[in-house]
Amino acid sequence: MTAAAASAPNPLLARWSGPFGLAPFAKIEPAHFGPAFKAALNEHKAEIKAIAGNPAKPTFANTLLALENSGTALNRVCDVFFNLTGANTSPALQKIERAIAPKLSAHYSALYLNAKLFKRIADLFARGADLDLDDEQARLLERMHTWFVRAGAQLKAADKKRVAEINNRLAELTTQFSQNVLSDEQSWRMVLDNPRDLAGLSEAQIASAARAASDAGLTGKHVITLARSSVEGFLQSSTRRDLREDAFKAWIKRGEMNPATDNRPIIAEIAQLRQELAHIMGFDNFAGYSLADTMAKTPAAVRDLLGRVWPAAIAKAHEERDALQKLVAKEGCNFEIAAWDWRYYAEKERAARFDLNEEEVRQHFELEAMIAAAFDTATRLFGLHFNERTDLKLYHQDVRAWDVTDADGRHMALFLGDYFARPSKRSGAWMSSYHNQHKLKGDIRPIVVNVLNFARGAEGGPTLLSFDDARTLFHEFGHGLHGMLSDVTYPSLSGTNVSRDFVELPSQLYEHWVSQPQVLKRYAKHAKTGKPMSEAMLEKLKAARNFNQGFSTVEYTAAAIIDMDLHSLKDASGFEAGKFEAKCLKRIGMPREIVLRHRLAHFNHIMGGYAAGYYSYMWSEVMDADAFAAFEETGNIFSQKVARKLREHIYSAGNVRDPLDAYVAFRGRAPDVEGLLKKRGFL
């Protein structure tokens, strides 16, 4: 920290007077976080002590409302810090992250295991019917009581102590796990330093690889990184089977590349600790504990869903493999299709079957146009408007901002878009927020961010996306709308703070619009000619919609099954990740040509907040297929009547009611899995 910065007030603790309540990123240095966390934690501890020790009889105002109003400074520091560690980290921030994770865990364990505080909440819960609460207040009381019980508030003192110890250690382990994956992603790159190495790559891919090389200080060369859009594009296009193998093996070995960043021992300890935690909480295994407060409720319900999809997916994948093997033979080769061959030959098969060329498709999916398409869809559905702000100082030069307003010009949110891969950003794509919507102190509107990892185009040229990339952009923007349209009173119930297997509904539903002719005709314009996508190509995309669906369903469903198997263990002693993977995949008959979408050593989802929850994407897909049909049934995919119901009951409603009740309020009935099977082409 500079001398001037050291003598100035800590910007994380000072009043933020900038536009939209945006953090003063330009003033924040890593050294500010330690003192800020310390001060904010002490402030929150004092607030909790006052609430728990209040001699007055518990009321909604002096207990639940007081809790909702507490921790403002801590939430603000956490929101800035953890958004930065995900999207723009550094060794200094990672060091702080490793130190603060167990401290935060200890703090929240102390909060949820506070006997005096829980006694007040339990008293209110017992008297709930006599408190004259409105629906949202009643929901907050029910949820708060559930959260405390599930955290261990009713346990004996010795068990509470052990739960806190387990939570602290899990915080350390999951932080290290994520940092190890990022380290492996940062450390690997494939340098393509002669023309032969570029064989099969499109002009746009070559330009993107040159840009990646330049960013890495290797001007004049070409580089493939482990950013998904870089490595998957290479696997799809490169004619060099040897290089495809090298890239693929690096991609699937993230988290176990180097002894210093080997996640396999960490997984073993996480599995043992979660199993112990579940037993303390009265469950046979962690899956049972985790699912008890979801829409699914039980591991049996999840396995029933996955079990209905798996046989159809396997059968389809076998058909696809046989077709690809015929292509290999047709080329005069005698090798069996391997995992690093699948994407390459699948693209050949798609081109032959549907006369659809991936490079030609990419030319129609320019990043700027897809951002505009996502915005326009929100305008047509919900009346939102997006005005780019170039005057704001954000956390990285790549990040962009838009002021989001409604049809009456009222400010709804500040939306941040962070679209390009870089070494300081973890892989994948996600939505987050710098603060959530609530009405505790006026109508507080949210700051929402979408973080993606697209391979940047050539200097001065467009960034071209695959159709899957464009769908990912719409997916994350659907999450973003869930945060931006939120219209509830209490922060704990705001935006995406919903059941884990409901939270993917708004995002996966929004994906549907990117494939609709009304959207494609308007925004899928050729990057060079500016001409709209032709009717012929639209028909080809529609015909190819379910191409390779067996492959994608198998790689996803297998990962969901292995997540359930891991967290269904009753005894995790002696756990070895590699052997466990192999045993599970053998049991379910995993084709050797397909690899898990996420192997355990880099499966950040399930080592973090989606433990025993990766099935959620498919659970939500059952709903999203049925929900989009509500628009199709009207003959208008922008039906204002349906959009109003969707906004009221799903996008703006947060967690103010049970998720199934919310869905039924929108659709009029519960969804059925047949919609998912039809969507994927299995029926």
Query: CB–CB of 43/67 below 8 Å?
Result: no
Q: Which of 640, 568, 554 is nearest to 597 (CA)?
A: 554
pLDDT value of residue 7: 64
Listing DSSP states for 442-463 in one string gives B-BPPEEEEEEEEPP-STTSPP
The pTM (predicted TM-score) of the whole model is 0.95
Beta carbons of 619 and 297 less than 8 angstroms apart: no
Side chain identity, residue 603 = F
Q: Residue 464: which of 373, 530, 366 has the closest Cα? A: 366
CB-CB neighbours of 542 under 10 Å: 14
Cβ 12 vs Cβ 75: under 8 Å: no
Question: Pick from 377, 376, 445: which is nearest to 413 by CA?
Answer: 445
Domain 3-112+114-154 sits in CATH at 1.10.1370.40
- Exposure string of 280-299, with b = 16+ CB inside 10 Å and e = fewer, is bbebebbbbbbbbebbbeeb
Strand partners, 322: none
Q: Which two tokens stand for residue 213?
A: 């090389």
Query: What distance in Å separates the CA atoms of residue 168 and residue 467, rounded to the nearest whole number?
Result: 41
Question: Strands, E, within 374-420: which ranges?
Answer: 385-389, 400-405, 411-420
Structural tokens at position 411:
């400010």
**What was the pLDDT predicted at 680?**
83
Cross-strand partners of 191: 223
Let me know the angle formed at the C-alpha of 65 by 63 and 66, rounded to the nearest 5 degrees.
60
pLDDT of residue 672: 82
Residue 322 phi, psi (nearest 5): -60, -40
CA pair distance 13, 25, nearest whole angstrom: 13
CATH fold of 367-495+504-543, please?
Answer: Neurolysin; domain 3 (1.10.1370)
**Closest by CA position to 30, among listed 103, 101, 100, 90:** 90
Residue 386 CA to residue 389 CA, distance in Å, equals 9
* Residue 165 CB neighbour total at 10 angstroms: 15
Task: Please state, in angstroms and rounded to a whole number, the distance separating the CA atoms of residues 470 and 371.
Answer: 9
CB 468 within 8 A of CB 358: no
How far from the centroid of its chain's Cα atoms is residue 163's Cα? 27
What are φ and ψ of residue 428, in 5° steps?
100, -165
**Helix pair 264-280, 549-567: axis angle to 10 deg:** 60
Residue 130 contacts by C-beta under 8 Å, 6 or more apart in sequence?
A: none
Q: Is 569 helix (H, G, I), strand (E, B) or coil?
A: coil
Nearest to 204 by CA among 457, 432, 452, 9: 457
Assign domain 265-356+547-661 to a CATH class: mainly alpha
DSSP single-letter state for residue 390: -
DSSP 432: E
Examine domains 3-112+114-154 and 265-356+547-661 and report if their fold is the same. yes
The rounded Cα 158 to chain-centroid distance in angstroms is 36
**Domain boundaries along the sequence of the chain:** 3-112+114-154, 188-253, 265-356+547-661, 367-495+504-543
CA angle 58, 104, 572 (to 5 degrees): 105
| DSSP code of residue 192 | E
User: What averages of pLDDT result for each successive group of 10 residues across the chain (683 residues)?
Assistant: 65 93 96 98 98 98 98 97 97 97 97 98 96 97 98 98 98 97 95 95 94 93 94 96 98 96 97 97 97 97 96 96 97 96 96 91 96 98 98 97 97 98 94 97 95 92 94 98 98 97 97 97 96 94 93 97 97 94 97 97 95 96 93 97 98 97 95 82 79
The distance of Cα 148 from the centroid of its chain, to the nearest Å, equals 25
φ, ψ of residue 395 in degrees (nearest 5): -85, -10
Consecutive H or E run containing 140: helix 135-151
Q: What are phi and psi of 490, to 5 degrees?
A: -105, 135
Beta partners for 387?
403
Distance CA 615, CA 610 (A): 9
Catalytic pick from 185, 476, 555, 593?
Answer: 476
Give CA separation, 569 vs 163, 519, 523, in Å. 19, 46, 48
Nearest CA-CA partner of 80 in 531, 408, 434? 434
- In the DSSP assignment, the letter for residue 615 is T
Residue type, 58: P
3-state secondary structure of 302: helix
**Catalytic site includes residue 142:** no
Q: Which two tokens stand for residue 560?
A: 């969901």
Instruction: Please report which residue ranges of 226-284 form alpha helices under DSSP H.
Output: 228-237, 241-252, 264-280
